[in-house]
Amino acid sequence: MPDMEQYQIVIDTNVLVAALRSSRGASHKLLRLINSDKFEMNVSVPLVLEYEAAAKRLIGEIPLTERDIDDILDYICAVANRKQIFYLWRPFLRDAKDDTVLELAVAASCDFIVTHNKKDFQGVERFGLEVVTPKEFLEEIGELP
């Protein structure tokens, strides 16, 4: 990849949830890198609302308050590329929430969808997207051996 261009990615909700549940592991490391020069994260209003709902369901299980989660989401929104979705292919994938991720990835001309559920995104290669786990993506950008 040329130095002047960064990978464009969409991070699936399950990666955010994993990062909030544990400060160890690839999901947390990936989230810590979202404002680095390694890649650009992309979000849409529907995806941020999904992030918020999933993260706030964790309250009581994780050592974060509602305010902490709001702060994390505000930070993500501040540093990520914000995209509007003007076209829908639904249904393309089995789960409408995954279609939200796919639509954003296509609208933002992303290189990767980062998820723990690669099987949920079968067929997205036709849109020029690669589906990878957080660990695989970190390896791709040289953040894991």
In single-letter form, the type of residue at position 141 comes to I
Q: What is the pLDDT of residue 2?
A: 42
**C-alpha to C-alpha distance for 68 and 140, rounded to whole angstroms:** 30
Q: Mind listing the pLDDT tens digit for each residue in 90-122? A: 677 777 778 899 999 999 999 999 999 999 999
CATH 3.40.640.10 is the classification of domain 7-140 = no
Q: What is the pLDDT of residue 1?
A: 44
H/E stretch holding 52 = helix 45-56
Of 47, 51, 122, the residue nearest 83 (C-alpha):
47
Q: Predicted confidence band at 142 (pLDDT cuts at 50, 70, 90)? A: very high
Q: Mind listing the pLDDT tens digit for each residue in 54-67? A: 999 999 999 999 99
